[in-house]
A and B are shown apart, each in its own frame.
Chain A
């Protein structure tokens, strides 16, 4: 992998990883809201 490609890719991969981690973190809140609405 060239240096410039790695430089371009690393921050984007971090954001992608963080985005996924955030969604995983928010799952309990989402589930709480959904189950409170569902009959």
Chain B
């Protein structure tokens, strides 16, 4: 009985399920990316060289 349950061939269904899972994951990632791209903040933010204020004249 245990030998029978072990199986002796690859079930096609397994690979299909795996494909479905991969596609779902792909959609989920794509969906998440689109979602985050829509959820921007009030104003852009970047910080360079640990400086809070940049004034070209002073930096020159």
- Chain A complexes with chain B: no
The residues of B with any CB-CB pair to A shorter than 8 Å are none
Interface residues, chain A, with chain B CB atoms under 8 Å away: none
